[in-house]
A and B are shown apart, each in its own frame.
Chain A
């Protein structure tokens, strides 16, 4: 029982990370009908942004202020990278074939991964401990550290914030409009380029948040750190129904929990197989994903 609880908690905390990253994939898909393969690298860039800011100000020891600054740095940096990627790589191709955009996305991803190895160096960096690793409280032999609690809290706040942005604000309404009818929305006075930019920035900021949380919990960052999480989050987004925000969150949590139970109960070799088996099953039984709506093939 205690073991099960430990697996569940681990799964939920990693599921939160998947959910945050999956949201970025799903938002971009929802608005542009393209898969932003560079999203996982924006995540990586967020972690490095925070790493260098923290190092520059020499704030490597645990304190709530340093954590907040690290989080903000990563959010701003990831958001900025997301904005640039959209502006310089995808926007010029807005009118061209979907295939061209897809290839560009893969190109941008490779640029960041290998460019990162040149700029930052390929060896892993040790991310500073921004949150104290003291045990905050213990429940039936399972100890909670500050970082575990922060993962749940920050994810929860981000999801509430996102849901408010999408459903309650003018920008959110415009996003939904562009997503549902990209051809009509501009006629209603919506500046669709601006909205697309905003969507990229919001998705990237979420990735930045996830990156800092992961980097504090697993203090090893390197230019390839996004690859694995990116793949799993992409699967989570498709699994939940790509384009659907609740779908990405649910997909993230299901995948996180599933991976932990699978690894915890014996079949550790099949961890990677799980995400793709799930994906294949969903695509066979419910091609639009769990929460997805059926639309014509866009990509």
Chain B
């Protein structure tokens, strides 16, 4: 056995070495502004990455078609991090050191955004994460921003929704222990629910990639909660909902924006119907900006724009706005102007950067109804 372990370490280090191989440096063009992005186009959270990339690409195309920013076109470079932490490290390094990007639009998930943020902060390149909701992400440094609200707000929204709208008090939590996002949301939900007179009767864990949750659910079932909070990602949530139904559990399931993916219903089928989650926007919105975004996206990609696409689209426009307001295109100027964004009208609502470089905006609670999400209520900050 010992030799097996040694050999696997050897292989791992060889793979790591191979991935640091570099190609030649691209030429810089003065009439272009190079913006980088990294996303999980393949791997566990692939739909997040694919939609994020589409959102950015669509915004960049629109901006370039309208003449670019102050006469300069945007050149967008996207790398796939394969939903992998180490790969994230490699691609962000590559964006900064080889492609010489002036700004980066970051990941959809919190965990990998945090990894990318550390490098961006180190090289003083402004990074705007489109949908990383964990509070720690922007605490990495003053070059790191986000275009979405943060977990404490989402946890608060869902606990409030549970107590005020559903009139329920006893909750169980099923959290993904390996995800910053899920742990953050769970902790806040627990705290907020206690403040509002509710209680958490069970708090159990799973890990990303698990496919069987029956033992966790059986343990939860024994405690008889009135609702179950599952702040995970769509892959696991879909299977959890299916198995909960198989175990005859009828409690409403509550979650966060990690549920938002067409795959949720495809995998869970009718077992996910009627459950609730908090989201950044709803396609039912009547705001003309949102309506035209939803329509154009559908025309371009023949799929409905999910929230990751909408946030990435907004993030790209926010970045463009910051670049437009910069007297000269330097990373430092872009950073300063990102921090000044106020009352920005995006498709996901009005966005203002607060002093912690977090976007302040409202959230919506939606109910799953087949492949669509029905708007239930809106909660302002």
**Residues in chain A within 8 A of chain B (CB atoms):** 3, 6-7, 10-11, 14, 35, 99, 102-103, 106, 110, 114, 117, 121-124, 126, 133, 143, 145, 214, 218-220, 222, 224-225, 227-228, 238, 259-261, 263-266, 268-269, 271-272, 283, 287, 297, 299
Interfacial chain A residues near B266, Cβ < 8 Å: 126
Is B63 interfacial (CB-CB < 8 Å)?
no
Interfacial chain A residues near B44, Cβ < 8 Å: 222, 224
The reply to whether B4 and A35 form a contact with Cβ atoms under 8 Å apart is yes
Interfacial chain B residues near A35, Cβ < 8 Å: 4
Interfacial chain A residues near B210, Cβ < 8 Å: 228, 271
CA distance A117 to B80 in the complex (A): 12
The reply to whether A6 and B218 form a contact with Cβ atoms under 8 Å apart is yes
Q: For window 252-274 of chain B, which residues contact chain A by CB distance below 8 Å?
A: 263, 266-267, 269
Q: A219-B267, A264-B218, A268-B206 are in contact. Are A102 and B7 (CB under 8 A)?
A: yes
Q: A35-B4, A102-B7, A299-B4 are in contact. Are A7 and B209 (CB under 8 A)?
A: no
Interfacial chain B residues near A7, Cβ < 8 Å: 215, 218
A268 to chain B, nearest CB (A): 4
Interfacial chain B residues near A99, Cβ < 8 Å: 7
The reply to whether A133 and B219 form a contact with Cβ atoms under 8 Å apart is no
Is B363 interfacial (CB-CB < 8 Å)?
no
Q: A220-B235, A228-B209 are in contact. Are A117 and B215 (CB under 8 A)?
A: no
Q: For window 216-255 of chain B, which residues contact chain A by CB distance below 8 Å?
A: 216, 218-219, 222, 235, 238-239, 242, 246, 248
The reply to whether A123 and B205 form a contact with Cβ atoms under 8 Å apart is no
CA distance A218 to B214 in the complex (A): 11
The reply to whether A283 and B212 form a contact with Cβ atoms under 8 Å apart is no
CA distance A124 to B42 in the complex (A): 10
Q: A103-B11, A126-B267, A269-B205 are in contact. Are A10 and B4 (CB under 8 A)?
A: no
The reply to whether A145 and B205 form a contact with Cβ atoms under 8 Å apart is no
A-B contact pairs, 21 of them (CB 8 A): A6-B214, A14-B212, A106-B8, A114-B82, A117-B42, A117-B43, A122-B43, A122-B83, A123-B47, A143-B246, A218-B211, A218-B239, A225-B211, A228-B211, A264-B215, A264-B216, A264-B218, A271-B206, A271-B207, A287-B1, A299-B4
Interfacial chain B residues near A227, Cβ < 8 Å: 209
Interfacial chain B residues near A222, Cβ < 8 Å: 44
CA distance A178 to B218 in the complex (A): 46
Output the nearest chain A residue to B174 by Cβ-Cβ distance: A268
The number of residues on chain B lying at the interface, defined by a beta carbon within 8 Å of a beta carbon of chain A, is 41
Interfacial chain A residues near B47, Cβ < 8 Å: 123
Q: A122-B43, A220-B235 are in contact. Are A299 and B3 (CB under 8 A)?
A: yes
**Residues in chain B within 8 A of chain A (CB atoms):** 1, 3-4, 7-8, 11, 15, 41-44, 46-47, 50, 82-83, 177, 204-207, 209-212, 214-216, 218-219, 222, 235, 238-239, 242, 246, 248, 263, 266-267, 269
Interfacial chain B residues near A126, Cβ < 8 Å: 263, 266-267, 269
Interfacial chain A residues near B242, Cβ < 8 Å: 218-219
The reply to whether A124 and B43 form a contact with Cβ atoms under 8 Å apart is no
The reply to whether A268 and B3 form a contact with Cβ atoms under 8 Å apart is no
Output the nearest chain A residue to B206 by Cβ-Cβ distance: A268
The reply to whether B239 and A106 form a contact with Cβ atoms under 8 Å apart is no
B197 to chain A, nearest CB (A): 26
The reply to whether A122 and B1 form a contact with Cβ atoms under 8 Å apart is no
Identify which of A121, A220, A259, A263 contacts B211 (C-beta below 8 A): A220
Q: A117-B43, A123-B50, A124-B235 are in contact. Are A260 and B11 (CB under 8 A)?
A: no
The reply to whether B215 and A10 form a contact with Cβ atoms under 8 Å apart is yes
The reply to whether B11 and A123 form a contact with Cβ atoms under 8 Å apart is no
B146 to chain A, nearest CB (A): 25
CA distance A3 to B246 in the complex (A): 15
The reply to whether B239 and A220 form a contact with Cβ atoms under 8 Å apart is yes
CA distance A238 to B2 in the complex (A): 13
Output the nearest chain A residue to B222 by Cβ-Cβ distance: A3
CA distance A145 to B245 in the complex (A): 12
B3 to chain A, nearest CB (A): 6
A142 to chain B, nearest CB (A): 9
CA distance A117 to B15 in the complex (A): 18
A232 to chain B, nearest CB (A): 11
The reply to whether A268 and B263 form a contact with Cβ atoms under 8 Å apart is no
Output the nearest chain A residue to B3 by Cβ-Cβ distance: A299
Output the nearest chain A residue to B80 by Cβ-Cβ distance: A122
Identify which of A102, A145, A224, A264 contacts B246 (C-beta below 8 A): A145
The reply to whether B209 and A283 form a contact with Cβ atoms under 8 Å apart is no
CA distance A114 to B83 in the complex (A): 12
